Amino acid sequence: MGPIIEPEGSCGFTHFYPVRGKIRAVTDNSSSRIPIVVISDGKPGHENQSLGIAEHIPGSDILLIRHNLELGLKESIFRAKLRMLPVTGNNAPNLLKTALSEEEINSFVNFKPAAIIAAGTLSAGLCHIAGKLTGAKTCICMVPSLLPLSIYDLAVVPAHDNPPDAPNILVTLAAPNRVSDEMLSDEADRWWDELPQGEKIISWVIGGPSASAEFDQKHVLGGLLETLMWARYNNRQVWLSTARRTPESLEETIDNIREGYPSLKWHLLWHRDKRNPLYAMFYRSEVAIVTSDSVSMIAEAASAGVGPIVYRASQSTGTGSKPSKQERMVEGLMREGYGMRVGSPDELTGILEARKDENARFNKLDDTAKAAERLSELIRKNK
């Protein structure tokens, strides 16, 4: 991503940043404008955490800068160097040139940020350096490798990462995300002409295998088919979306069986469409079923207040007897009433049957709003 773009003849302070592959303009002429820089490695999961916190801050004006650092020996040495070398306003520009052009550095310096937010190890060092250069408050999401959390003004860390007890650390149940009432409503309006009409809707969201999560296609398909049969006899629609990691072979199977299951009223296959309808789906649905491999989609559904009903994507519970990070996060959410977890198709339809006459949604997760409020407090104290 290049530097800030200001269209000719524009009024007020306007800039653009990508939102799900499109361009969204943000304008705020008021004195309450809060300039925030998001430094991103371009990974959607990381970027959405940072943008989620920034967007939850009233009056935020956001500049997104993407760097091109990649994991490797050179980058590890760079972070190790930051751990030993005091970063100051004098050496910060040269350090930033490791990953950013001079034009990009000037763009966020001239932006005069009140806060700089980043997520993930690759962006952590740049966030720290940029804070020293601009005097902005720094916020890191997750626990970066080699760099201590103490160098940041705020660290937002999920409980499953076992963060230490420190004044600058906010412990959350899940990772921050961009779900808000406004975002859900806006996305529902944007998808209105494409999604079917109806009120009793079940969302089915399918992830896929990753380095940290197993994925059994047959097991997932079994849960989906049981849901479709249950929905047919209980006057429910099922809307389905796959994701980047979903095996294309599973997408083909879903496309082939849809005519035999009329309750599957709408579906989007990511490898064909490459769009994200989840916010619109969650806004319209009474409950969401999400496969257990995707912590980000689980957190988004919990933040929207539609569950999730977490359907185990495999029979594995982690390495040996020790639960994985995903399992620990899901367990924390379930324990606090933000959803339910099931392991078999029969359990899944049993939960749907038990809840079908209930009007109340699940609890709504507000971790992102809490992180935004903590960062807002730091910004106010810095003025």
Domains of the chain, by residue range, sit at: 14-173+367-382, 181-355
CA dist list (Å): 19 to 84, 97, 273: 37, 26, 16
How many helical (H) and strand (E) elements, i.e. helices and strands, does the chain have? 14, 16
Q: Using CB atoms within 10 A of its CB, is residue 226 exposed (0-12), middle (13-18) or buried (19+)?
A: middle
* pLDDT 10s digits, 112-153: 999 999 999 999 999 999 999 999 999 999 999 889 999 999
Instruction: Give the torsion through C-alpha atoms of 54, 60, 61, 65, to 10 deg.
Output: -10
- pLDDT for position 210: 85
Question: Do 14-173+367-382 and 181-355 have matching folds?
Answer: yes
Q: pLDDT tens digits for 295-317?
A: 889 999 999 999 899 999 986 54
CATH 3.40.50.300 fits 181-355, yes or no: no
Out of 145-154, 164-173, 358-367, least confident range: 358-367
- Nearest Cα residue to 346 out of 238, 223, 195, 184: 223
- pLDDT category, 281, cuts 50, 70, 90? very high
Q: Measured between alpha carbons, how far is 263 from 232 in angstroms, rounded to an integer? A: 5
Question: pLDDT (tens digit, 9 = 90+) per residue, 47-105?
Answer: 999 999 999 999 999 999 999 888 888 888 888 888 888 888 889 999 999 899 999 99
DSSP per position, 22-86: EEEEEE--STT-EEEEEEE-S-HHHHHHHHHHHHTSTTEEEEEEE----SSHHHHHHHHHHHHSP
Q: How far apart are CA 17 and CA 200, in angstroms?
A: 35
Task: Tally the residues of the chain.
Answer: 383
Instruction: State in words which class domain 14-173+367-382 has.
Output: alpha beta
Q: How far apart are CA 379 and CA 136, in angstroms?
A: 8
pLDDT at residue 21 greater than cutoff 50 = no
Answer for the pair 197, 183: CB distance below 8 angstroms, yes or no: no
pTM for this one? Answer: 0.84
Residue 28 confidence (pLDDT) = 46
* Contact residues for 140 (Cβ-Cβ < 8 A; gap 6+): 117, 118, 119, 124, 127, 128, 149, 152, 154, 155, 156
Residue 36 has pLDDT above 90, yes or no: yes
CB 210 within 8 A of CB 316: no
Q: Which DSSP state fits 289? A: E
pLDDT score at 150: 95
Residue 368 token pair: 């992102």
